[in-house]
Protein backbone atom coordinates (compact mmCIF):
# COMPACT_ATOMS: atom_id res chain seq x y z
CA UNK A 1 0.00 0.00 0.00
CA UNK A 2 2.80 2.38 0.88
CA UNK A 3 4.67 1.45 -2.27
CA UNK A 4 1.57 2.14 -4.40
CA UNK A 5 1.07 5.51 -2.73
CA UNK A 6 4.70 6.35 -3.38
CA UNK A 7 4.29 5.50 -7.06
CA UNK A 8 1.20 7.71 -7.32
CA UNK A 9 3.02 10.63 -5.68
CA UNK A 10 6.02 10.08 -7.96
CA UNK A 11 3.76 10.09 -11.01
CA UNK A 12 2.03 13.29 -9.85
CA UNK A 13 5.40 14.93 -9.34
CA UNK A 14 6.56 13.98 -12.82
CA UNK A 15 3.35 15.35 -14.34
CA UNK A 16 3.74 18.60 -12.39
CA UNK A 17 7.33 18.97 -13.58
CA UNK A 18 6.17 18.23 -17.12
CA UNK A 19 3.53 20.95 -16.91
CA UNK A 20 6.08 23.46 -15.57
CA UNK A 21 8.51 22.54 -18.34
CA UNK A 22 5.78 22.94 -20.95
CA UNK A 23 4.84 26.31 -19.44
CA UNK A 24 8.43 27.57 -19.56
CA UNK A 25 8.82 26.34 -23.12
CA UNK A 26 5.59 28.09 -24.14
CA UNK A 27 6.82 31.37 -22.64
CA UNK A 28 10.18 31.12 -24.43
CA UNK A 29 8.50 30.31 -27.74
CA UNK A 30 5.80 32.99 -27.29
CA UNK A 31 7.41 35.49 -29.73
CA UNK A 32 7.31 32.79 -32.41
CA UNK A 33 3.91 31.27 -31.67
CA UNK A 34 2.35 34.76 -31.35
CA UNK A 35 4.24 36.48 -34.18
CA UNK A 36 2.05 39.54 -34.78
CA UNK A 37 1.40 39.72 -38.51
CA UNK A 38 -1.27 42.40 -38.03
CA UNK A 39 1.05 44.97 -36.47
CA UNK A 40 3.87 43.97 -38.80
CA UNK A 41 1.82 44.63 -41.92
CA UNK A 42 0.31 47.92 -40.76
CA UNK A 43 3.57 49.26 -39.34
CA UNK A 44 5.60 48.39 -42.45
CA UNK A 45 3.32 50.47 -44.67
CA UNK A 46 2.99 53.42 -42.28
CA UNK A 47 6.68 53.66 -41.31
CA UNK A 48 7.93 53.35 -44.88
CA UNK A 49 5.62 56.16 -46.03
CA UNK A 50 6.55 58.30 -43.00
CA UNK A 51 10.28 57.87 -43.65
CA UNK A 52 9.93 58.70 -47.34
CA UNK A 53 8.01 61.85 -46.43
CA UNK A 54 10.46 62.86 -43.69
CA UNK A 55 13.41 62.48 -46.08
CA UNK A 56 11.75 64.34 -48.94
CA UNK A 57 14.73 66.73 -49.10
CA UNK A 58 16.99 63.88 -50.23
CA UNK A 59 17.21 62.71 -53.81
CA UNK A 60 14.52 60.25 -54.84
CA UNK A 61 16.85 57.24 -55.10
CA UNK A 62 18.15 57.57 -51.52
CA UNK A 63 14.68 58.32 -50.18
CA UNK A 64 13.04 55.33 -51.84
CA UNK A 65 15.87 53.01 -50.79
CA UNK A 66 15.47 54.13 -47.18
CA UNK A 67 11.72 53.49 -47.33
CA UNK A 68 12.27 50.05 -48.84
CA UNK A 69 14.84 49.11 -46.18
CA UNK A 70 12.45 50.33 -43.49
CA UNK A 71 9.56 48.26 -44.86
CA UNK A 72 11.67 45.10 -45.14
CA UNK A 73 13.10 45.55 -41.62
CA UNK A 74 9.65 46.05 -40.13
CA UNK A 75 8.19 43.04 -41.93
CA UNK A 76 11.09 40.90 -40.70
CA UNK A 77 11.18 42.04 -37.05
CA UNK A 78 8.03 43.92 -36.04
CA UNK A 79 5.97 40.77 -35.58
CA UNK A 80 8.57 39.44 -33.14
CA UNK A 81 8.81 42.66 -31.13
CA UNK A 82 5.02 43.09 -31.09
CA UNK A 83 4.69 39.56 -29.72
CA UNK A 84 7.03 40.56 -26.88
CA UNK A 85 4.84 43.59 -26.22
CA UNK A 86 1.76 41.37 -26.13
CA UNK A 87 3.58 38.99 -23.79
CA UNK A 88 4.26 41.90 -21.42
CA UNK A 89 0.53 41.95 -20.64
CA UNK A 90 1.17 38.84 -18.54
CA UNK A 91 3.40 40.77 -16.14
CA UNK A 92 1.47 41.25 -12.91
CA UNK A 93 2.89 44.67 -12.01
CA UNK A 94 1.27 47.11 -14.41
CA UNK A 95 4.06 49.67 -14.14
CA UNK A 96 6.66 47.07 -15.10
CA UNK A 97 4.47 45.78 -17.94
CA UNK A 98 4.11 49.35 -19.25
CA UNK A 99 7.88 49.92 -19.03
CA UNK A 100 8.62 46.76 -21.01
CA UNK A 101 5.95 47.41 -23.65
CA UNK A 102 6.37 51.17 -24.13
CA UNK A 103 10.07 51.75 -23.45
CA UNK A 104 12.31 48.65 -23.41
CA UNK A 105 11.04 46.69 -26.43
CA UNK A 106 10.52 49.74 -28.71
CA UNK A 107 13.96 51.18 -27.94
CA UNK A 108 15.66 47.85 -28.67
CA UNK A 109 13.78 47.69 -31.98
CA UNK A 110 14.64 51.31 -32.80
CA UNK A 111 18.31 50.72 -31.99
CA UNK A 112 18.48 47.74 -34.34
CA UNK A 113 16.66 49.74 -37.02
CA UNK A 114 19.04 52.70 -36.66
CA UNK A 115 22.11 50.45 -36.81
CA UNK A 116 20.85 48.88 -40.03
CA UNK A 117 20.21 52.26 -41.68
CA UNK A 118 23.58 53.60 -40.51
CA UNK A 119 25.28 50.61 -42.11
CA UNK A 120 23.36 50.86 -45.40
CA UNK A 121 22.68 54.59 -45.80
CA UNK A 122 25.44 56.17 -43.75
CA UNK A 123 25.03 59.35 -41.74
CA UNK A 124 22.83 61.09 -44.30
CA UNK A 125 19.72 59.87 -42.46
CA UNK A 126 20.91 60.95 -38.98
CA UNK A 127 18.30 63.75 -39.10
CA UNK A 128 15.60 61.20 -38.25
CA UNK A 129 17.15 60.41 -34.84
CA UNK A 130 15.15 62.62 -32.46
CA UNK A 131 11.96 62.48 -34.52
CA UNK A 132 12.16 58.68 -34.72
CA UNK A 133 12.64 58.43 -30.95
CA UNK A 134 9.60 60.61 -30.23
CA UNK A 135 7.41 58.81 -32.76
CA UNK A 136 8.54 55.42 -31.46
CA UNK A 137 7.64 56.19 -27.84
CA UNK A 138 4.30 57.79 -28.71
CA UNK A 139 3.31 54.96 -31.05
CA UNK A 140 4.40 52.41 -28.45
CA UNK A 141 2.17 54.01 -25.81
CA UNK A 142 -0.70 53.95 -28.31
CA UNK A 143 0.05 50.30 -29.06
CA UNK A 144 -0.08 49.59 -25.30
CA UNK A 145 -3.51 51.20 -25.18
CA UNK A 146 -4.71 49.12 -28.13
CA UNK A 147 -3.56 45.71 -26.90
CA UNK A 148 -4.80 46.37 -23.36
CA UNK A 149 -8.22 46.90 -24.90
CA UNK A 150 -8.07 43.74 -27.01
CA UNK A 151 -7.11 45.18 -30.40
CA UNK A 152 -4.32 43.93 -32.71
CA UNK A 153 -3.73 40.79 -30.67
CA UNK A 154 -2.87 37.38 -32.09
CA UNK A 155 -3.41 33.95 -30.61
CA UNK A 156 -6.17 32.80 -28.29
CA UNK A 157 -7.45 36.29 -27.39
CA UNK A 158 -7.37 37.74 -30.89
CA UNK A 159 -10.16 38.96 -33.10
CA UNK A 160 -10.26 39.48 -36.84
CA UNK A 161 -8.19 42.21 -38.47
CA UNK A 162 -11.41 43.83 -39.69
CA UNK A 163 -12.80 44.03 -36.16
CA UNK A 164 -9.48 45.44 -34.91
CA UNK A 165 -9.46 48.14 -37.59
CA UNK A 166 -13.04 49.08 -36.73
CA UNK A 167 -12.13 49.52 -33.06
CA UNK A 168 -9.09 51.74 -33.74
CA UNK A 169 -11.05 55.03 -34.20
CA UNK A 170 -12.86 54.52 -30.88
CA UNK A 171 -9.63 53.59 -29.10
CA UNK A 172 -7.86 56.57 -30.67
CA UNK A 173 -10.44 58.88 -29.12
CA UNK A 174 -10.09 57.22 -25.71
CA UNK A 175 -6.29 57.36 -25.99
CA UNK A 176 -6.32 61.10 -26.73
CA UNK A 177 -8.89 61.74 -24.00
CA UNK A 178 -6.99 59.75 -21.36
CA UNK A 179 -4.66 62.60 -20.25
CA UNK A 180 -7.63 64.96 -19.86
CA UNK A 181 -9.60 62.39 -17.87
CA UNK A 182 -6.58 61.60 -15.70
CA UNK A 183 -5.99 65.31 -14.97
CA UNK A 184 -9.68 65.80 -14.14
CA UNK A 185 -9.67 62.86 -11.71
CA UNK A 186 -6.45 64.11 -10.13
CA UNK A 187 -7.76 67.61 -9.44
CA UNK A 188 -11.08 66.17 -8.32
CA UNK A 189 -9.31 63.99 -5.77
CA UNK A 190 -7.28 66.95 -4.50
CA UNK A 191 -10.43 69.02 -4.01
CA UNK A 192 -12.00 66.25 -1.96
CA UNK A 193 -8.97 66.03 0.32
CA UNK A 194 -8.87 69.80 1.02
CA UNK A 195 -10.61 70.60 4.36
CA UNK A 196 -13.66 72.83 4.18
CA UNK A 197 -14.06 75.91 6.41
CA UNK A 198 -16.65 74.15 8.61
CA UNK A 199 -14.48 71.05 9.15
CA UNK A 200 -11.46 73.26 9.86
CA UNK A 201 -13.42 75.22 12.46
CA UNK A 202 -14.67 72.05 14.10
Provide the pLDDT for residue 46: 81
Provide the pLDDT for residue 168: 94
Better pLDDT: 117 or 76: 76
Other CB atoms within a 10 A radius of the CB of residue 112 amount to 13
- Given a contact cutoff of 8 angstroms between Cβ atoms, the answer to whether 145 and 89 are in contact is no
For helices 161-193 and 129-148, give the axis angle rounded to 10 degrees.
90
DSSP state of 91: -
- Mean pLDDT of all residues in 16-22: 59
Provide the pLDDT for residue 7: 47
pLDDT tens digit sequence for 173-196: 999 998 887 777 766 666 666 555
- Given a contact cutoff of 8 angstroms between Cβ atoms, the answer to whether 171 and 147 are in contact is no
DSSP state of 150: T
pLDDT tens digit sequence for 57-86: 777 777 777 777 777 888 888 899 999 999
- Given a contact cutoff of 8 angstroms between Cβ atoms, the answer to whether 57 and 75 are in contact is no
Question: DSSP secondary structure string, 18-64?
Answer: HHHHHHHHHHHTHHHHT--HHHHHHHHHHHHHHHHHHTTTS-HHHHH
Provide the pLDDT for residue 110: 86
Q: CA nearest 70: which of 151, 147, 128?
A: 128
Residue 113 above 70 pLDDT?
Answer: yes
Provide the pLDDT for residue 194: 57
Distance CA 42, CA 159 (A): 16
Amino acid sequence: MIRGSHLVQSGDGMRARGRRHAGWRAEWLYPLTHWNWKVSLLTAVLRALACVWALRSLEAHARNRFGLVEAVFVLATCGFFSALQQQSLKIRREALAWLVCVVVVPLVSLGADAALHLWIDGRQTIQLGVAALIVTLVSASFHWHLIRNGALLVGEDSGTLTADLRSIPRLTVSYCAAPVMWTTRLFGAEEKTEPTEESAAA
